[in-house]
Chains A and B, each alone.
Chain A
Amino acid sequence: MTSLPARALRAGRLVLAAGAAVFLATTVAQAQVSAPPGPTVEAIKKRGALNCGIDTGVPGFAFQDNKGVWHGIDIDYCRAIAAAVLGDPEKVKYTGTTAAARFTVLQAGEIDVLIRDSTLTFTRSTVLGLDEVAVNFYAGQGFLVRKSVGVTKAAELQGATICTVTGATLELNIADFARSTGAKIGTLLFDKPEEAIAAMEAGRCDGYTDDTGSLAGMRSTLKQPDEWFVMPETISKEPLGLHIRSGDARWQKIIFWLDNALKSAEEFGITKANADQLKASTKDPFILRLLGAEGDTGKALGLDEAWALRAIKVAGNYGEMYETHFGTKALNLPRGQNNLYTKGGLHYPLPIR
């Protein structure tokens, strides 16, 4: 039994607490809407350039043309990020990273993002302290085999000899595959892919094994490419993608949603050519939101409203990028897993709303 004044006091406290909670909630909500873009973006803006870590050269992902200009799907991603954050796809400083140094360079803060055909794995996320933000290419360890050998599945490679390069993962995968299926596959090891390919052409082995992305590139260098084929089956999963340092959640969100935007653009038929026109003419609310004509996706990320539009206009949507670097006029690698989920692939962009 409590006295009246005491009860009134308690009620008053309750009201006060509720008020404070509402106040807190609104400020938090406001903070979420107009949050600063995070330290990485601030550093990028101050510097006026995105530091992008890339491969020192791999067909389809990152390579220089005769004029020394970088091309490749990883490069397109760097440029798209620069366009979204800085408004100019040219404001990228490319740092060529070797396999041994790539993660250290990222940890040390010399690059803002690592887009270097690197597989997203458990160890890299936990032990190395990196955030694995998005997959821009689903690869797997595959086989390039002489057609006359007459095999169609990896399990049929029993007794065959496969050329490959030294490096624990490729051998390890073959050993794992042999253990799990009982198929004994011999390997012949080389230091460089060129040497392995030369040995294969000379008939010292029946095929070559590497990531599917690289295999397509290798096949195009052969003297008689038609005598060889890339087996559709893979024996390992190599989701290649974008890494950043752990610790900047805002930066992680920007990269994550940019990747989604590029893939959503393909899903909704937004291309490099029609993006501007669609923004003005379409009635599809999803497209309007994505291109910044409606909603406030930019503000939520700490960017301006046209971030996705600019990114898409750099090298087109994801499908256009793939077509440029891996399509029939380039490395001629069928899209397979790298298609959208609607066409039997694995890319499933999350809804931007």
Chain B
Amino acid sequence: MKRVMQAPLFKALFGSRGNTVVTLLMVALFALLLPGLVRWMFGHAVWEAANRAACRLADDGACWAFIRARFALFFYGTYPEGERWRVHAGLALLVVVGTGTLFSHRRRGAWLLALMTVVPVADAVLLAGGMFGLAAVPTERWGGLMLNLVISFVALGGAMPIGIALAFGRRSTWPVIRYGSIGLIEFWRGVPLLTVLFMGLVLLPLFLPNGVNVDNLVRALVVMTIFTGAYMAECVRGGLQGVERGQSEAALALGMHTTQVQLLVVLPQALRLAIPGIINIAVDLFKDTSLVSIVGLFDLMGVVGQSLKDPAWTGLASEGYVFAAIVFFFACLVISLGGSVLERHFSAVPRAGKS
């Protein structure tokens, strides 16, 4: 008994009177909520039914048959069934090269180059098709989680160079570049994402000459990329400021150009410092991709919202949104875990300037 009372967990839960009260309150709260939730999610849930009417037999259970029936729609949108291997192949390519970049020690440069060039091009060809004997799949058929992933990847990949350029621009000694960068960053950070998405969708067509059509998805991609780039710039700038002056002074003393100093000495260290912030942006970005459903693209949230309008399944909002929440949670968990692997990986190198 004494050993139990000295265990850290026990102390944390019942160490003081206040802690005990809070613990008991939380236990009571869970006891109140959990049984109902578990009964709804599992106990009384219906897993097989042709439509909502068949599900309604178990009134207080979740109708997971709805999710099962539309599973493919949630993940691929209306991407043609026979072509879905292309989505898998594209994802596999991204995962393989991404993992290679993370874990390769000697050839990381080559892997990174592949990640920035080969993967986007190959994936674009795979998904869009229209060449190399692949049937063309127009973007309005892309949807579901796949669309969230595409937007996240493109926006993050595009935002990195934009962010780095703007971060350096903001530290530039040339007023034009400095104030230009500041203006751009502050504009894009000062406007809600939803507003710029609407502007991209609604205003852009009015400026373009009639008949020139920019794909809806491309518009969303451009907007999301620049938007993320502005945030990325501030994150990278934080990293740049975190690199000690001694680093660049030492490099200059070795006879390196200013450009070399910045690109080869300062930037790598700055990016390492910026990793937690970048991961944060990536998670944020991934969740923000669900906003595109408001401008008429069918991402996961869009497909869920739309599935609720099928008369065969109307009224299953809880199931749809709970499912979307679970998918988003696990996807963000993967990003966070990947980020912490990245962080640990890089901090294996002794921190610059610290001894």
Residue of B nearest to A197 (CB): B315
A235 interface residue, CB < 8 Å from B? no
A107 interface residue per 8 A CB criterion: yes
A330 touching B308, Cβ below 8 Å = no
User: Cβ of A63 and Cβ of B309 under 8 Å apart?
Assistant: yes
B297-313 vs A, Cβ < 8 Å mask (1 yes, 0 no): 11000100111111110
List B residues 258-315 near A (Cβ within 8 Å). Answer: 293-298, 302, 305-312, 314-315
**CB of A9 within 8 A of chain B?**
no
Q: Which range contains the number of B residues in contact with the other chain?
A: 35 or more
Q: A57 and B309 in contact (CB under 8 A), knowing A101-B201, A110-B213?
A: yes
Expressed in whole angstroms, the Cα–Cα distance for A218 and B309 within the complex equals 10
Contact between B309 and A59, CB atoms less than 8 A apart: yes
CA distance A67 to B80 in the complex (A): 10
| CA A105 to CA B305, docked complex, whole Å | 21
Residue of A whose beta carbon sits closest to that of B56: A223
Residue B317 interfacial (CB < 8 Å)? yes
Whole-angstrom distance between the alpha carbons of A65 and B305 in the complex? 13
| Contact call A223/B309, Cβ cutoff below 8 A | no
Kindly state whether residue B339 has any CB partner on chain A within 8 Å.
Answer: no
Q: Verify A64–B306 contact, CB threshold 8 A.
A: yes
**Of the residues B52, B69, B211, contact of A109 by C-beta under 8 Å:** B211
Q: Give, as a whole number of angstroms, the nearest-CB distance from A106 to chain B.
A: 10
**Are A223 and B306 in touch, CB under 8 angstroms?**
no
Distance from B58 Cβ to chain A, minimum over Cβ atoms (Å): 12
CB distance from A69 to the nearest CB of B (A): 8
Chain A residue at minimal CB-CB distance from B214: A110
B249 at the interface (CB under 8 A from A): no
CA distance A98 to B293 in the complex (A): 9
CB distance from A226 to the nearest CB of B (A): 13
Give chain B residues whose Cβ lies under 8 Å from the Cβ of A192: 317
A56 and B317 contact, Cβ closer than 8 Å, known pairs A95-B216, A221-B52: no
Tell me which residues from 60 to 75 in chain B have a Cβ below 8 Å from any Cβ of chain A: 69-70, 72-73
- Of B69, B294, B311, B315, the contact of A222 (CB 8 Å cutoff): B315
Contact A56 B138 (CB under 8 A): no
How many Å from the CB of B69 to the closest CB on chain A?
5
Q: Is B210 an interface residue (CB 8 A)?
A: yes
A241 at the interface (CB under 8 A from B): no
Q: Is the CB of A96 within 8 A of B315?
A: no
Does any Cβ of B come within 8 Å of A217's Cβ?
A: yes
Residue A93 CB within 8 A of the other chain: yes
Which residues of B are found within 8 Å of A127, using beta-carbon distances? none
Give every chain A residue within 8 A of B317 (Cβ-Cβ). 192, 194
Determine which residue in A56, A110, A330 has the highest number of CB atoms from chain B within 10 A of its CB, and name it.
A56
Q: Tell me if B336 counts as interface (CB < 8 A to partner A).
A: no
Task: Specify the chain B residue showing the minimal Cβ separation from A61.
Answer: B309
Contacts of A194 in B (CB 8 A): 308, 315, 317
Q: Does residue B183 face the partner (Cβ distance < 8 Å to A)?
A: no
Contacts of B312 in A (CB 8 A): 65-66
Interface residues of A in 33-73 (CB under 8 A from B): 43, 56-60, 62-69
Q: Is the CB of B310 within 8 A of A59?
A: yes
Residue-wise interface mask of B (170-209) relative to A, using a CB-CB cutoff of 8 A (1 in contact, 0 not): 0000000000000000000000000000100110011010
Identify the B interface with A (CB < 8 A). 52, 56, 59, 69-70, 72-73, 77-78, 138, 140, 143, 198, 201-202, 205-206, 208, 210-211, 213, 216, 293-298, 302, 305-312, 314-315, 317
Given contact pairs A68-B78, A110-B213, enumerate 19 new A-B contacts (beta carbons under 8 Å).
A43-B211, A56-B305, A56-B306, A57-B307, A57-B308, A58-B309, A59-B309, A59-B311, A63-B306, A64-B307, A95-B140, A96-B297, A96-B302, A96-B306, A101-B296, A107-B206, A108-B206, A108-B210, A218-B314
